[in-house]
Amino acid sequence: MERNVARLKARLDGLGVTLRPHLKTCKSVDVARRVMTSPAGPATVSTLREAEQFAAAGVRDILYAVGVAPAKLPQVLALRARGADVAVVLDTVEQAQAVAQASRSAGTRIPALIEIDCDGHRSGVRPDDAQRLLDIGRALEAGAELRGVLTHAGGSYAASGSEALRQCAETERRSVVDAAAILRAAGLPCPVVSVGSTPTAHHATDLAGVTEVRAGVFVFFDLVMAGIGVCQVSDIALSVLATVIGHQRDKGWILIDAGWMALSQDRGTRRQAVDQGYGLVCDMAGVPYADLIVGDANQEHGILMVRPGSDGLLPDLAIGDRVRILPNHACATGAQHRGYHVVRGTSGRVEAEWPRFGGWQ
């Protein structure tokens, strides 16, 4: 984990941009303090519950990076009143009007970033839709604070290979730089130009015009990131420790006490070149067994098997033996747990326990 964090920080230092880590991956104050560039932030969150938890731990510069629902603005105002500079994100005139209205009513100016759709992946204003950009910007300025523009190259998760990822990063960069230019040309402010996804953050070679990069999963990495070439399997800093509870020898199955409650149901490697099932199986030192995956999972049962198509052999694991499962998606697997057991190297000795907060919102 420390190596993963140092790697991205060094990379972004070289590109002259600030890291605003996305704390939705860790949902842990202990991890956040090791990822952020200062104890006060900057930070990105995906729910206002995260914002509250991190604000209570002293984080002051918080971007709530999911399009804001008007009913959540009183919670944003309460956080700001307690001293946290919480900014919101939106992509419609209706939201901008609601933020401006809430700001006027509270006698303050809620900062907001306009979300840009760089790749058709999800939400946001198309960067060439100048009219909508200006309408939103002007609606915000009637009471709130237009702080900038933001995008997320969600499409980069489906890319593969350095050249494709560099292209995603450049498309991501250009979308917000273009949108910022439209706003500024109309006399509107746009101090923040924010991009971010773990794949593009690791492949951008030019971030001219960008002020900050958001990324989350890089802190732990996972099999999806390894599959698209952003990290090696040996970089993955999160695993689930499980115990062998049975065998179906005629089927080539080993049963463990970790099902989808422990691993999550994320099957993000399903469409990648190497399908890792519900996770890749390692020994206690974190070294993968050849082609051994969690091939199926029920709520509290995982079924280990050799990857279909492989001529690998099932390892000789006895009842009670322990294995480590590497996750497809660190955010999803982490969300199934109440905390982290921190180990260093291959000793397996637990140096610390770091709680995480769970639950939706």
Least Cβ distance, residue 6 to a second copy (angstroms)? 25
Choice between 83 and 120, CB closer to a second copy: 120
82 and 58 Cβ atoms separated by less than 8 Å:
no
d(CA 56, CA 14): 32
Letters for 156-175 (x = contact with a second copy by CB under 8 A, - = none) are --------------------
Phi and psi for 169 in degrees, rounded to 5? -65, -40
240 and 333 Cβ atoms separated by less than 8 Å:
yes
Binding segment for a second copy (CB under 8 A), chosen from 34-42, 77-85, 182-190, 317-325, is 317-325
336 and 28 Cβ atoms separated by less than 8 Å:
no
Question: Binder to a second copy among 75, 108, 171, 243 (CB under 8 A)?
Answer: 243
Residue 277, interface with a second copy (CB under 8 A)?
no
Q: How many CB atoms lie within 10 A of CB 189?
A: 15
Close Cβ partners of 193 (under 8 Å, ≥ 6 residues apart):
148, 149, 176, 177, 180, 209, 210, 211, 212
Choice between 211 and 333, CB closer to a second copy: 333
Among all chains, which residue has been given the structure tokens 């209205």? Answer: 101
140 and 169 Cβ atoms separated by less than 8 Å:
no
Question: Binder to a second copy among 4, 44, 47, 198 (CB under 8 A)?
Answer: 47
Letters for 338-357 (x = contact with a second copy by CB under 8 A, - = none) are x-------------------
Binding segment for a second copy (CB under 8 A), chosen from 131-139, 170-178, 186-194, 259-267, is 259-267
Letters for 12-31 (x = contact with a second copy by CB under 8 A, - = none) are ------------x-------
Residue 248, interface with a second copy (CB under 8 A)?
yes
Least Cβ distance, residue 198 to a second copy (angstroms)? 13
Residue 112, interface with a second copy (CB under 8 A)?
no
Binding to a second copy (CB under 8 A) within 178-237 occurs at none
199 and 156 Cβ atoms separated by less than 8 Å:
yes
Residue 94, interface with a second copy (CB under 8 A)?
yes
Residue 261, interface with a second copy (CB under 8 A)?
yes
148 membership: H or E segment, kind and range: strand 145-151
d(CA 125, CA 155): 16
Question: Binder to a second copy among 12, 68, 140, 306 (CB under 8 A)?
Answer: 68
Question: Binder to a second copy among 42, 154, 196, 277 (CB under 8 A)?
Answer: 154
Residues touching a second copy, count (CB under 8 A)? 55
Question: Binder to a second copy among 298, 310, 346, 347 (CB under 8 A)?
Answer: 298
260 and 326 Cβ atoms separated by less than 8 Å:
no
Amino acid code (one letter) for 117: D
d(CA 113, CA 63): 9
Residue 66, interface with a second copy (CB under 8 A)?
yes
Residue 131, interface with a second copy (CB under 8 A)?
no
Choice between 47 and 269, CB closer to a second copy: 47
Close Cβ partners of 253 (under 8 Å, ≥ 6 residues apart):
247, 295, 303, 304, 305
DSSP codes joined into one string, 2-55? HHHHHHHHHHHHHHT-EE--BTTTT--HHHHHHHSSSTT--EEESSHHHHHHHH
Question: Binder to a second copy among 107, 311, 316, 360 (CB under 8 A)?
Answer: 360
Choice between 74 and 358, CB closer to a second copy: 358
| Interface ranges with a second copy (CB under 8 A) | 24, 46-47, 66-71, 91-92, 94-95, 98, 117, 120, 122-123, 154, 240, 243-248, 251, 255, 257-258, 260-262, 264-267, 298-301, 303, 318-320, 331-332, 335-338, 358-361
